[in-house]
Amino acid sequence: MSRRAANGAPLVEARDVKKHFPVPASLLGKLLAGQKDQLVKAVDGVSFKIWPGETVGLVGESGCGKTTLGRVLARLYEPTAGEILFRDWPVHSSFFRHTQIIFQNPYSSLNPRKTVRDIIGVALRQRGLRDPQEREAETLRLLRRVGLSERHVDAYPHQFSGGQRQRIGIARALAIQPQFVVADEPVSALDVSIQAQVINLLQELQEEFDLTYLFIAHDLSVIHHLSDRVVVMYLGHVMEEAETESLFANPLHPYTQALLAAIPVVDKEDRRERIILEGAVPSPIDPPSGCPFHTRCFAKKGPECEQEYPPEVQVQGHRVACWLYV
């Protein structure tokens, strides 16, 4: 059930956000000799809202732009175009104080030459805690809260297991006292037995600290378990957005249908018809005309699919970009 505040303003809003990366012609190789610099259109006009206390799941295949979008929302990347609003105000650098990101690979996101005290201490200084004793007390409190021990404070990242390192990453994110957390595949690098522990911790912390999450994952069962709403991305665009239960029970966009049909199901009664997607994900340097999914779509409506980007429509409470519903 959605935890969305009934009539309140969204906490975070993306308005027609784009992130394009220039690729120098030299990097494209001699095969493309004579070509000018090109653009990777990783995110190409994405709009959605996240309400306080919600968990929004962001899904799609590798290369769909979900990690780039998460980094734009966390202000690690400047958007090429569009706007990000925080409580209805345009976001600039001050957003850092309200937003944190938890990375997929806790090892590469922690400085190997710093102790846990230093890693969390940097974040606490950013928050404005100047007094060393206060910082020490807060560091120990955060360590305990994420399930680590006070004796870990002098250890270095390589001395921890993957799950423990992710707990350090979570403690560092909490140290800023964020309102909005982008969790970018936070459990996909962990052993299955550890994944559930970290997911439970994130859920407990959401309740305790009143956090709002954008949860990026390719594991749809994790998204189903955690999210209030789901946004489905393909080649830098939103294909479908809906409340989680409705999306999983009744996916409308052909791409969402294909993604969900690929989830392994144990219950024979609940088995969906398998949909095999033809071809590979097209290059975001040279995306298809019209609907970006038309080169792989099994339900193509007609020539309009190849000619014009489908308008977004509201169908059965879902936001869908597909000519089938226009």
| Residue placing its CB nearer to ligand SF4 in the complex, 65 or 163 | 65
Identify the CA nearest to 236 among candidates 60, 48, 2: 60
| Residue placing its CB nearer to ligand SF4 in the complex, 145 or 300 | 300
- C-alpha to C-alpha distance for 123 and 127, rounded to whole angstroms: 6
Of 247-276, binders to ligand SF4 (CB under 6 A) are: 254
Task: Output the smallest distance, CB 277 to ligand SF4, in A.
Answer: 11
Stretch that binds ligand SF4, among 21-29, 119-127, 165-173, 299-307 (CB under 6 A): 299-307
Kindly write out the interface string for residues 33-62 of this chain, putting x where it contacts ligand SF4 by CB under 6 A and - elsewhere.
Answer: ------------------------------
Decide if residue 322 touches ligand SF4 (CB under 6 A).
yes
| Residue placing its CB nearer to ligand SF4 in the complex, 85 or 324 | 324
Q: What is the widest separation between alpha-carbon atoms in the chain?
A: 68
289 membership: H or E segment, kind and range:
none
Task: Output the smallest distance, CB 300 to ligand SF4, in A.
Answer: 5
Instruction: Tell me which DSSP letter residue 103 carries.
Output: -
Task: Output the smallest distance, CB 135 to ligand SF4, in A.
Answer: 52
Q: Binding-site residue total for ligand SF4 (CB under 6 A)?
A: 13
- C-alpha to C-alpha distance for 267 and 221, rounded to whole angstroms: 14
| Residue placing its CB nearer to ligand SF4 in the complex, 76 or 315 | 315
Is the Cα dihedral 219, 224, 226, 228 positive or negative?
positive
Task: Output the smallest distance, CB 249 to ligand SF4, in A.
Answer: 19
Of 278-297, binders to ligand SF4 (CB under 6 A) are: 291, 293-294, 297
Residues with Cβ within 8 Å of residue 101, at least 6 apart in sequence = 70, 71, 74, 76, 173, 181, 182, 183, 184
Task: Output the smallest distance, CB 232 to ligand SF4, in A.
Answer: 11
CA 109 remoteness from chain centre: 16
Residues with Cβ within 8 Å of residue 309, at least 6 apart in sequence = 237, 290, 291, 292, 321
| Residue placing its CB nearer to ligand SF4 in the complex, 140 or 299 | 299
Decide if residue 312 touches ligand SF4 (CB under 6 A).
no
- The DSSP bridge partners found for residue 83 are 15
- C-alpha to C-alpha distance for 55 and 87, rounded to whole angstroms: 16
- Tell me whether strands 237-243 and 312-315 are parallel, antiparallel or unpaired: unpaired
Task: Output the smallest distance, CB 80 to ligand SF4, in A.
Answer: 24
Contact pick of 299, 312, 313, 315 for ligand SF4 (by CB under 6 A): 299
| Residue placing its CB nearer to ligand SF4 in the complex, 174 or 252 | 252
- C-alpha to C-alpha distance for 177 and 158, rounded to whole angstroms: 26
Task: Output the smallest distance, CB 275 to ligand SF4, in A.
Answer: 12
Helix (H, G, I), strand (E, B) or coil at 321: strand
- C-alpha to C-alpha distance for 213 and 187, rounded to whole angstroms: 14
| Residue placing its CB nearer to ligand SF4 in the complex, 159 or 289 | 289
Burial class of residue 15 (count of CB atoms within 10 Å of its CB; 0-12, 13-18, 19+): middle
| Residue placing its CB nearer to ligand SF4 in the complex, 201 or 320 | 320
Decide if residue 301 touches ligand SF4 (CB under 6 A).
yes
Q: Which chain residues interact with ligand SF4 by CB under 6 A?
A: 254, 291, 293-294, 297, 299-301, 305, 310, 322-324
